[in-house]
Amino acid sequence: MIACKHWTKSGEFFRGQCSKGIEGGRPSYGHCVHNCGLCTTTNAELAEYMQTLSEGPSFKTKATSLLKHTGQVIAGIPQGKAFASKLEQARRFGICKSNTCNKYDNEKNKCNKCGCSLKLKIKAEAVGCHYWEIKENASK
């Protein structure tokens, strides 16, 4: 995080909000650290923070997962299998929350393997996860 009382995190990628209006009030993290003079964040701290923002699957992986899962949902519609039951959704979410796979991001409620939002992923009947299947088979 950027150590400056004038800076707050924004929804924009690698940008914050500056109450001093620096760089139009939307400075990049690097601009704050290198040019502002009010920021006390070190280069090493900035590099560490930037790494946390970059973790997770690549854009290509996320896009591929989204397209694949969308296709699976659409394919399930004619059979009435677009959405999992509430019980199945709860079971899936419980497995993800247990973080057996070490891929669950609790802060963002997403899977760091495929990049999917769990709010959406657990609802789709045809969408699967290797770890859901392992837990299901282990309980039989």
Does residue 33 sit in the same domain as residue 91? Answer: no
Please tell me whether residues 130 and 111 are part of one structural domain: yes
Q: What is the pLDDT of residue 138?
A: 65
pTM for the model stands at 0.53
pLDDT at 135 (0 to 100): 63
Range(s) of the domain holding residue 103:
59-138
Q: Does 65 share its domain with 39?
A: no
Bridge partners, 83 (sequence order) = 124
- Which of left, alpha, beta for 10 (phi over 0: left; psi -120 to 50: alpha)? beta
Q: Which pLDDT value is given to residue 90?
A: 93
* Count of structural domains within the chain: 2
Average pLDDT, consecutive stretches of 10 residues, N- to C-terminus, the chain (140 residues): 76 75 79 77 76 69 82 83 89 87 83 83 83 67
Q: Are residues 113 and 44 in the same domain?
A: no
Q: Are 45 and 29 in contact (CB under 8 A)?
A: no
